Chains A and B, each alone.
Chain A
């Protein structure tokens, strides 16, 4: 029996974003190269099946160059048997293209099951596993939390996190694509010996070219979140109490846009209508 686990290496930017260089600017150290945590759980889930399924072989599939070497080794050390790296001619891909490439690679190794993470921490699309099942023509269960296989290796029982505390149990025919959700399955800590072995795993690289196919969906622009208000300054005890209170209040003051009108309700209503008309919110005859 073969399981392919798709692993995505991500760049996690955990720092605040913003323009002020001193406190908000991103530096190189702020980027953490790691494996998508959902994929780590998927790998752990596959590894735990080794106990019950004889002759289970786990292939880790990575798309694109290795950017997170240490963390990749750590993830492989959980129990992968070999690695398949896919190189492509495209640099930026949408989920549709990614799943197409993965499907072509997976058709060659014919896995009984394909495990993916539910979504990736960086883009949070969650589309690749679904598209992958479409390309391969296989069944698909999303947000799986537990899986067990029957004696003949033909049926799988998959528990799924249905949200709002609902647990759904599915009976599926293999082969199957599942996307894995975070659950009580926590990746174990690989030992030094396992890490050593992970460095010398059979590593196969294949190249799949899409010959200039263009993305069906492409990001037009990206808006980072507004910077959080700056943390308050340290209160200087030597200042007068009045000034210290001002200091305390200063970070919390948020500039409000708009005008506060006061007065008689009738007058206010007229002013409001005038304002709306002026700004073309209201089109009255």
Chain B
């Protein structure tokens, strides 16, 4: 009777969670059962925070073991004695571990700063404690009654039996309490913090059909285009808001939060859940619901650098960045609200087709004085196309990198060409600033040009262009083999086409660009390239690989002022300066520009040189070039 009621409550709760996820955007999702099983079995993602991860592992597997054991026991299945003893021992030890884990969590919560705590978790932990304790006490009093004495079958139970009263009534009360506790656990699951179990399972199970760094695609004739109200988000995005456990890992790694800006990815998810619970009924009654702006401010939306740190570190595989982008799209496309500084960038892109507003006719200025062929000047198709990007073509500092890259390719005897005056901005800036229409316009024009030349292989040295060309152009019909310049240089070195012979005697460190590292998982090629250059020694920063701090230039932030909080690039520059190296290597124009700015403002006396890995390779292979000429 109880069980049926509880099951009914559980199912109602889960279906209520489903109703809350009322959405208008359809999104293609596929199920990934293998991934879910791997995730649960290994707990790898959760274990990234070792202490909490291990404890979660214990509690999760503990609950699962008990549930799996109790069902056959209740069904009256009889095991052989040895197996039964084994099971008893395992359950005993698991119970003890669970007790320790729950106690640790509880003590941790009591000791922690009250302001930072997420409310509503303590009484659930207490419920878990009651379940475990009553379990042990009932077992203990049973052992006491039958005078079992100590045995290895149930060592913990024996310990409890010492101080348990010799009373069948007490045992019965404990058993009842234990049973009620378990029932309460299941009944509360969809209505409390434990909703992360059903919602999280579903969130991890359902996979999006998007490339790694790709933003969710939208239809431009929809109204509104972005997310105005809660149900303008897609089901997967809402699922994320339900699955969020407020573990604050996103906030530990978010550059905006670290630099004391108002954005906290976790807060966005909480705000969404709050809206969801309030607005879903309004939707079903076809009543107007409040806009999302009431819970999420513009400062939060525009502080995001789209560095993917929140997405990478989220143990629930939630993508808050995608939601922030949906909110930005609403601001720009539906409301016409663009930060003042970004307007010029968007206008430049609209009129001139590049972020610097210089225009197509100046696109090839960087190659004046050196021989770099453009595709349209060649009689036959080149082997590879070198995508220069706006920064390579126009930025006075970064065009040096473009020239170095061209010289390296020339040295290696690669038949290459640049798009020249046919190139437009890849559209990353426009898309990350929320101007989806402009992005599609630029991207389609680029794809048309590339296709008309029959281009297959493209080498890109800007990670943002790389990500756009590789992950976002296929959706618009541009399918190319896009190679990041770092990997291409490694291949050239491996093929002995260029030889890094000249030593660069320096200790260096690497700043991982977000769009190579976290988004496209390209970490090792950077390190390998550094190893190939003689004389260089690499010292990793404290924040590196997945935890690397963004330079603050991604997501259109390159063109926005940083008026709130600290400056991200200065934070990072201080970290690099404190590491005591003389050279910083990076592989992204934005990182280079932001870090040069930051370094200039934090270090006056010590000089840290900032070079792109392409420049370092060019320096080291300079001899080969000289030999040829």
Contacts from A to B (Cβ < 8 Å): 14-16, 23, 26-27, 29-30, 32, 34, 71, 74, 186, 188-194, 230-234, 237-238
Contact of B562 with A by CB under 8 A: no
Bound Cα distance A190, B362 (Å): 29
Determine how close the nearest CB of chain A comes to the CB of B504; give it in whole angstroms: 14
- A30 to B334, Cβ gap below 8 A? no
- B361 to A15, Cβ gap below 8 A? yes
Q: Within the complex, which residue of A15, A30, A32, A194 is in contact with B351, where a contact is CB–CB below 8 Å? A: A32
For chain B, residues 319 to 362, give those with C-beta under 8 angstroms from any C-beta of chain A. Answer: 332-338, 343, 346, 350-352, 359-362
Contacts from B to A (Cβ < 8 Å): 220, 223, 225, 332-338, 343, 346, 350-352, 359-362, 364-365, 368-370, 403, 421, 437, 622, 625-626, 629
Closest residue to A26 on the B side, CB-wise? B361
For the complex of A and B, the 9 pairs showing the least CB-CB separation, nearest first, are: A233-B369, A15-B361, A30-B361, A29-B360, A189-B336, A191-B336, A234-B369, A238-B626, A192-B333
- B361 to A29, Cβ gap below 8 A? yes
Closest residue to B406 on the A side, CB-wise? A234
What are some 23 contacts across the A-B interface (CB < 8 A)? A14-B361, A15-B359, A15-B362, A23-B364, A26-B361, A27-B360, A27-B421, A29-B361, A30-B359, A71-B351, A188-B336, A189-B336, A189-B337, A191-B334, A191-B336, A192-B225, A193-B223, A230-B368, A231-B365, A231-B369, A232-B369, A233-B368, A237-B622
Residues of A within 8 A of B365 (CB): 23, 231
Q: Within the complex, which residue of A26, A192, A237 is in contact with B437, where a contact is CB–CB below 8 Å? A: A192
- B359 to A32, Cβ gap below 8 A? yes
- A238 to B622, Cβ gap below 8 A? yes
Our count of residue pairs bridging A and B at CB distance below 8 angstroms stands at 64
Residues of A within 8 A of B225 (CB): 192
Determine how close the nearest CB of chain A comes to the CB of B339; give it in whole angstroms: 11
Classify the secondary structure of A's interface with B: loop
Residues of B within 8 A of A27 (CB): 360-361, 421
- B625 to A238, Cβ gap below 8 A? yes
Bound Cα distance A16, B365 (Å): 11
Determine how close the nearest CB of chain B comes to the CB of A8; give it in whole angstroms: 16
The listed residue with most B CB atoms (<10 A of its CB), out of A27, A30, A190, is A30
Bound Cα distance A190, B332 (Å): 9
- A189 to B370, Cβ gap below 8 A? no
Residues of A within 8 A of B335 (CB): 191
Bound Cα distance A81, B333 (Å): 21
Bound Cα distance A190, B78 (Å): 74
Determine how close the nearest CB of chain B comes to the CB of A172; give it in whole angstroms: 31
Bound Cα distance A237, B365 (Å): 20
Closest residue to B338 on the A side, CB-wise? A189
Q: Within the complex, which residue of A14, A186, A191, A230 is in contact with B333, where a contact is CB–CB below 8 Å? A: A191
- A16 to B361, Cβ gap below 8 A? yes
Bound Cα distance A23, B421 (Å): 11
Closest residue to B422 on the A side, CB-wise? A29
Bound Cα distance A23, B365 (Å): 7
Closest residue to B365 on the A side, CB-wise? A231
Residues of A within 8 A of B338 (CB): 189
Residues of A within 8 A of B370 (CB): 233-234
- B360 to A30, Cβ gap below 8 A? yes
Bound Cα distance A29, B423 (Å): 11
Bound Cα distance A192, B226 (Å): 11
Bound Cα distance A30, B351 (Å): 11
Residues of B within 8 A of A231 (CB): 365, 368-369
Determine how close the nearest CB of chain B comes to the CB of A224; give it in whole angstroms: 14
Bound Cα distance A74, B220 (Å): 16
Bound Cα distance A251, B474 (Å): 44
Residues of A within 8 A of B351 (CB): 32, 34, 71
Residues of A within 8 A of B421 (CB): 27, 29
Residues of A within 8 A of B337 (CB): 189
Residues of B within 8 A of A234 (CB): 368-370, 403
Determine how close the nearest CB of chain B comes to the CB of A37; give it in whole angstroms: 10
Residues of B within 8 A of A15 (CB): 359, 361-362
- A189 to B343, Cβ gap below 8 A? yes
Residues of A within 8 A of B360 (CB): 27, 29-30
Closest residue to B353 on the A side, CB-wise? A29
Q: Within the complex, which residue of B334, B350, B361 is in contact with A193, where a contact is CB–CB below 8 Å? A: B334
Determine how close the nearest CB of chain B comes to the CB of A258; give it in whole angstroms: 29
Residues of A within 8 A of B364 (CB): 23
Residues of A within 8 A of B333 (CB): 191-192
Determine how close the nearest CB of chain A comes to the CB of B411; give it in whole angstroms: 12
* A32-B351, A230-B368, A238-B626 given; A190·B336 CB < 8 A: yes
Starting from the known contacts A15-B361, A191-B335, A234-B370, 6 additional A-B residue pairs (CB-CB under 8 Å) come to A188-B336, A189-B343, A191-B333, A231-B369, A234-B368, A238-B629
Bound Cα distance A227, B237 (Å): 55
Residues of B within 8 A of A192 (CB): 220, 225, 333-334, 437
Closest residue to B333 on the A side, CB-wise? A192
Residues of B within 8 A of A238 (CB): 622, 625-626, 629
Residues of A within 8 A of B403 (CB): 234
- A194 to B622, Cβ gap below 8 A? no
Closest residue to B361 on the A side, CB-wise? A15
Residues of B within 8 A of A186 (CB): 343
Residues of A within 8 A of B336 (CB): 188-191, 194
Bound Cα distance A192, B223 (Å): 9
Bound Cα distance A193, B336 (Å): 10
Bound Cα distance A238, B220 (Å): 54
Residues of A within 8 A of B352 (CB): 14, 32
Bound Cα distance A231, B368 (Å): 8
Residues of B within 8 A of A232 (CB): 369
Bound Cα distance A230, B369 (Å): 10
Residues of B within 8 A of A74 (CB): 350
Bound Cα distance A74, B346 (Å): 13
Determine how close the nearest CB of chain A comes to the CB of B431; give it in whole angstroms: 15
Bound Cα distance A238, B502 (Å): 14
Bound Cα distance A237, B338 (Å): 45
Determine how close the nearest CB of chain A comes to the CB of B450; give it in whole angstroms: 16
The listed residue with most B CB atoms (<10 A of its CB), out of A23, A29, A32, is A29
Determine how close the nearest CB of chain B comes to the CB of A11; give it in whole angstroms: 12
Bound Cα distance A16, B350 (Å): 20
Closest residue to A237 on the B side, CB-wise? B622
Bound Cα distance A34, B368 (Å): 29
Bound Cα distance A237, B502 (Å): 14
Bound Cα distance A188, B346 (Å): 12
Determine how close the nearest CB of chain B comes to the CB of A9; give it in whole angstroms: 13
Bound Cα distance A230, B365 (Å): 10
The listed residue with most B CB atoms (<10 A of its CB), out of A26, A30, A191, is A191
Bound Cα distance A186, B346 (Å): 14
Residues of B within 8 A of A189 (CB): 332, 336-338, 343, 346
Residues of A within 8 A of B343 (CB): 186, 189
